[in-house]
Structure formats: structure tokens, C-alpha cells
């Protein structure tokens, strides 16, 4: 069997996608890679692991050759707020890294999954019911790299026949790995703070609606799209996918149903607020639904219930070893 390579496997999506792919294809057939040498013991011990920096084309090629990789899930990327704080590095990782992966895929006939994002849209995009094919003029470096990445992936498909596929992920909510510096991270942090302290200070303003998705659906989207019949794909890079859309006060109200004393206040971060305001309020994901049968399983109430059930148990267990999770978004993302 041809093997699968995951770049950025220690990240928020990568850590859970690795587990899902190892379950689906067998642990030995799924190579997790990350540029971080310090990763979870589970990632290293549950199957092959390689230290690979995607900005090093030779390193990507060497691991593809070593394991005879047939499909690459290329997840290594900087998220929006970190990218805005360091746009030069964002270009290097998000674009140079992607270019290296696509070149290796072209040379070695690999299929490639590349996530795009709601960050690929901007102020001039219709922000309510954002269509699949529409204006994409983002104002952030993250967005620029996401649009360029979508175009590059389509180009490699059309010009070289590389089987590239991707989705535009909304904010992803997970109870396993913390996100690493995105604009939507508040929707993860809120759970840790609600369970531990009964209160949360939100860095986005009341009324800021954004598309969101629970991690099991994000994993399902990647697997279902890569399994899809290519003859049915009119689009490739990248499909709008969403599962729910809410503003901070709406998720807070849902959490309050489980933790009645929970309170939330606001301390708006102007950088992330400006990014959020340029992103869709909710996307139209009918192309994904029609072309490859996309259907999410979790809406807002189901996601909140599961997050609170799982995290309450885990954090109660961890109470013996105190210390709070370090959120990447606690950094002040001043423009560099």
C-alpha cells in the first residue's frame, strides 16, 4: 500500500488527523512529520515520525522517497494572527513550503490535501452566505497566502495533473490540541476558562459572527474529500465547508446552559477584530455538499455539550498537576 505523509502533524488539525489516518490505513502506513522536535509521545510512538521542515525541499523529498508516499496531507502553516505578526515568515512557510510539497508531489505522483481557510476572503467578499466562487481580496498576509495557495494547487492540477484537493476551513474547535495563534482561537479558549474559572475575557467584539466547526467534522471533511470520486469534482481548491456560525455571546449563552454561573466580558484585540470583520459571517457550502456529499455531524449545542463533557473530565484529572494551558493568542499580536 502507498503510504500517507502528514506535514505539521503536531498542530491542531494534524495531531487528530494523524490518529484518524492511522486508524484508517494502519499505523505503519501513516508517517507523521513536523518541524518541531518536541511533539507528543503519542504522535511519536503510535507510528513512524520524522522531523521535516517543509521549507526544506530536499527534506520533504527524502521522506517521500524513503516511505514511498502516495498522498500528502500538507498541514504545516502559520495561522492568521501569528502570520500577521510575522508576514515574512508566513510567506516562507505557507507559500514556499507549499511550493516544495507540490513540486515533490509532481515528481513522485502524490495526491495532496491542502487546507485553505475562511481567511481566503476579505471585505469585498459577500460576507453573508459567501458563495463558493466569489471575490477573494483578503487584506492579511494569511489570506494572501491562502488565496495564492488555492491558485497554486489548482495550477498543479490543471498543468501537471497532480491530484490536489482542499477545503476552506472555518474556525476549528477541538478538545485535544490547542490552536496556535488564530483569530478564531477564542472559541477554544472559552471552554478551558469556563470550566476552570467560570469566566472568560473575549478578544473579539460581541456580534462578531464567524463560521466554526468541531474537530471530528474537520477530520471527516479531509477524509471524505480525499475519498471523493474525482469525476464528480467540478471544484478542487478549495471547497467552502462549515458546520455552524455564531458570535461570542451565542457560544457563551450555550455554555451557560451547562455552567450556569459562567460570565464573559470583552477586551477587544484590534488586530484580530479587524481580521474577523473581514471574514464571512457564514459561508454557502453547497458545492461541497453536492460534489462530494459533505455533511457535518455537530451543530453548536452538540459541540458545546461534547466539549464540556470531555474537557471537564480531563481538566478534573489534571487538577492534581496544576498549571493552565498556554494559549498562543495570549501573545499581543501587534503588527511587526
Catalytic residues: 142
**Least distance (Å) between residue 259 CB and ligand AKB:** 24
Closer CB to ligand AKB, residue 19 or residue 212?
212
**Least distance (Å) between residue 161 CB and ligand AKB:** 28
User: Which residues are CB-contacts of 65 (< 8 A; sequence separation ≥ 6)?
Assistant: 108
Write down the number of H helices and E strands in the chain: 13, 16
3-class SS of residue 198: coil
> Which of 119, 122, 166, 296 is close enough to bind ligand AKB by CB under 6 A?
119
Contact in structure between 187 and 208 (CB atoms under 8 Å): no
> Which of 183, 237, 242, 245 is close enough to bind ligand AKB by CB under 6 A?
183
Q: Which region among 35-43, 114-122, 126-134, 314-322 touches ligand AKB (by CB under 6 A)?
A: 114-122
Closer CB to ligand AKB, residue 48 or residue 115?
115
Site for ligand AKB (CB under 6 A): how many residues?
A: 12
Q: Which residue has the cell 521542515?
A: 53
Contact in structure between 166 and 239 (CB atoms under 8 Å): yes
3-class SS of residue 117: strand
Cβ neighbours, 10 Å, residue 175: 21
> Which of 14, 171, 280, 296 is close enough to bind ligand AKB by CB under 6 A?
171
DSSP 47-101: S-EEE--TT-HHHHHHHHHHHTEEEEEE-----HHHHHH-HHHHHIIIIIHHHHH
Q: Rule CB under 6 A: say whether 241 interacts with ligand AKB.
A: no
> Which of 18, 100, 117, 140 is close enough to bind ligand AKB by CB under 6 A?
117
Q: Rule CB under 6 A: say whether 8 interacts with ligand AKB.
A: no
Q: Rule CB under 6 A: say whether 80 interacts with ligand AKB.
A: yes
- Distance, in Å, from the CA atom of 252 to the CA atom of 265, rounded to the nearest integer, reads 10
Q: Rule CB under 6 A: say whether 138 interacts with ligand AKB.
A: no
> Which of 19, 60, 76, 79 is close enough to bind ligand AKB by CB under 6 A?
79
Closer CB to ligand AKB, residue 8 or residue 170?
170
User: Which residues are CB-contacts of 251 (< 8 A; sequence separation ≥ 6)?
Assistant: 187, 190, 300, 304
Closer CB to ligand AKB, residue 76 or residue 110?
76
Q: Rule CB under 6 A: say whether 184 interacts with ligand AKB.
A: yes
Give the distance from CA 318 to its chain's centroid: 26
**Least distance (Å) between residue 222 CB and ligand AKB:** 14
Residues that bind ligand AKB (CB under 6 A): 79-80, 117-119, 169-172, 182-184
Amino acid at each position: 500500500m502507498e503510504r500517507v505523509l502528514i506535514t505539521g502533524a503536531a498542530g491542531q488539525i494534524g495531531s487528530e488527523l494523524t490518529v484518524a489516518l492511522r486508524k484508517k490505513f494502519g499505523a505503519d502506513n501513516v508517517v507523521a512529520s513536523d518541524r518541531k522536535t518536541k511533539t507528543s509521545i503519542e504522535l511519536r510512538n503510535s507510528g513512524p515520525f520524522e522531523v521535516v521542515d517543509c521549507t526544506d525541499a530536499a527534506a520533504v523529498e527524502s521522506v517521500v522517497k524513503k516511505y514511498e508516499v502516495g498522498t500528502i496531507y500538507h498541514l504545516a502553516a502559520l495561522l492568521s494572527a501569528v502570520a500577521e505578526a510575522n508576514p515574512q515568515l508566513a510567506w516562507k512557510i505557507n507559500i514556499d513550503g507549499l511550493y516544495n510539497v507540490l513540486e515533490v508531489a509532481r515528481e513522485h505522483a502524490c495526491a495532496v490535501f491542502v487546507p485553505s481557510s475562511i481567511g481566503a476572503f476579505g471585505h469585498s467578499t459577500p460576507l453573508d452566505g459567501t458563495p463558493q466562487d466569489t471575490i477573494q481580496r483578503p487584506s492579511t498576509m494569511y489570506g494572501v497566502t491562502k488565496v495564492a495557495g488555492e491558485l497554486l494547487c489548482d495550477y498543479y492540477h490543471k498543468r501537471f495533473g497532480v491530484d490536489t484537493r482542499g477545503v476552506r476551513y472555518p474556525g476549528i474547535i477541538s478538545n485535544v490540541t490547542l490552536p496556535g495563534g488564530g483569530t478564531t482561537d477564542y472559541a477554544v479558549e472559552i471552554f478551558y476558562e469556563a470550566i476552570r474559572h467560570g469566566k472568560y475575557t473575549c478578544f473579539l467584539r460581541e456580534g462578531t459572527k464567524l463560521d466554526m466547526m468541531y474537530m471530528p467534522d474537520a477530520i471527516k471533511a479531509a477524509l471524505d474529500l480525499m475519498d471523493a470520486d474525482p469525476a464528480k469534482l467540478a471544484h478542487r481548491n478549495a471547497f467552502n465547508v462549515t458546520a455552524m456560525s455564531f458570535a461570542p455571546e451565542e457560544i457563551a449563552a450555550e455554555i451557560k446552559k451547562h455552567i450556569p454561573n459562567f460570565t464573559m466580558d470583552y477586551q477587544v484585540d484590534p488586530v484580530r477584530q479587524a481580521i474577523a470583520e473581514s471574514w464571512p459571517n457564514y459561508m454557502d457550502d453547497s458545492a461541497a455538499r453536492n460534489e462530494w456529499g459533505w455533511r457535518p455531524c455537530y451543530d453548536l449545542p452538540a459541540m458545546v455539550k461534547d466539549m464540556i463533557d470531555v474537557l471537564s473530565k480531563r481538566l478534573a484529572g489534571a487538577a492534581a498537576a496544576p498549571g493552565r494551558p498556554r494559549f498562543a493568542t495570549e501573545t499581543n499580536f501587534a503588527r511587526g
